Structure 1
Amino acid sequence: MIKTLRLLLQCLLLPLYFFIFSDFFFFCQADVGTAKQYSPPYLPTECFANDASQFPPNNFFAAAGDGVWDNGASCGRQYLVRCVSATAPSICDTSTTIQVKIVDIAPSTFSGTTIVLSETAFGAIAGSATGVLNVEFQQV
């Protein structure tokens, strides 16, 4: 009877453990970089020219910096992005992870930035603030 109860309890708690620790294990494999925000106009892009259908419906898209661009191979790739800190205190929402699609190469004015987020994507992890974010990101 005790063995049965112990086994039942372990089976019931296993999904709970997975839920609690899944974010931790996901970001153990993530890369770290910086993110900034860029504003419209977003067209044309280096990846898809003037095709407006390239943008996801939620407008979570980004331009890739030199380290992510990969000579254009990153076009269309999806990345999970999470803010871990920022130049200004209290602007990061560290509990939110977003998925962005790479549609462009980062403009030269963003030299040294890992990923440049659309206004909508940036706002989802940093509110209405501006500045440089330190982010964790991983290709999906």
Structure 2
Amino acid sequence: MSKIYHQPPSPLQRLSLSLFVFVELFHLTRADVGTAAQYSPPYLPTACYGNDQSQFPASNLFAAAGEGIWDNGASCGRQYLVRCISATTPNTCIQGQTIQIRIVDHVTKPASADGTTMVLSETAFGTIANATAASMNVEFQL
């Protein structure tokens, strides 16, 4: 029976592995805080995909990006994990609910959404918060 010799990783391999782990841990824990409002149909046309109905996920969990995340349209198609963390109205947030939304539009419509990080579809908003609330504070991450 032949022996198998295990060679220890080279310094470059160790550095690469350490860098990979650091980047992955940093990416997994990076979240931002912002505000979210909701908007109602009609949702078409959108700034990202015009009148294309296929832009909307089957779950109807989508949003319009505010200026802070719009990135000159580069946010189109991005998906964010979003959860409600607080609101001025007590009991607005549905505890333990996190959703994944897709950016399909740019916030240019309701004046009440001015300065908002994102404006969620009715379905998305109602999944993480009391649908009668006007807005909420959210935590979101790519």
Aligned 1:1-140 pairs, distance under 5 A: 28-108=29-109, 109=111, 110-139=113-142
Q: Within 2, Cα distance between the matches of 1:75 and 1:39?
A: 19
Q: 2 CA distance for matches of 1:92 and 1:82? A: 8
In structure 2, C-alpha distance between the alignment counterparts of 1:29 and 1:74, rounded to whole Å:
17
Tell me which moved more, 37-46 or 103-112.
Answer: 103-112
**Counterpart of 2:100 in 1: which secondary structure?**
strand
TM-score between the two structures when normalised by the length of structure 1: 0.78
Name the larger-Rg structure: 2
SS at match of 1:53: helix
Q: Given that residues 57 and 102 in structure 2 are in contact (C-alpha distance below 8 angstroms), is that contact kept between their aligned partners in structure 1?
A: yes
Q: Which has the higher helix share?
A: 1
Q: Distance in 2 between matches of 1:44 and 1:128?
A: 24
Per-residue CA distance 1:66-100 (angstroms, 9 max, x = gap): 00000000000000000000121001013100000
RMSD: 1.4
1: distance between equivalents of 2:67 and 2:59?
Answer: 25
- Distance in structure 1 (CA, Å) of the matches to 2:90 and 2:79: 28
Equivalent residue number for residue 22 of structure 1:
none
What residue number does 1:10 align with? none
SS of equivalent residue, structure 2 residue 123: helix
Q: TM-score, normalised by structure 2?
A: 0.77
Deviation at 1:111, TM superposition (A): 1.3
Shift of 1:128: 2.6
Percent of pairs with identical residues? 65
**Cα displacement (A) at 1:129:** 2.1
Deviation of 1:29 after TM superposition, in Å, equals 1.8
Q: Which runs of 4+ in 1 moved over 4 A?
A: none
Contact map agreement 2:65 2:119 (CA 8 A) in 1: yes
Deviation by residue 1:85-122 (Cα, 9 ceiling, x = unmatched): 01210010131000000000012522110010000000
Unaligned runs of 5+ in 2: 1-27
Query: For structure 1, which runs of at least 5 residues remain unmatched after alignment?
Result: 1-25
Give, in whole Å, the separation in 1 of the partners of 2:105 and 2:55.
10
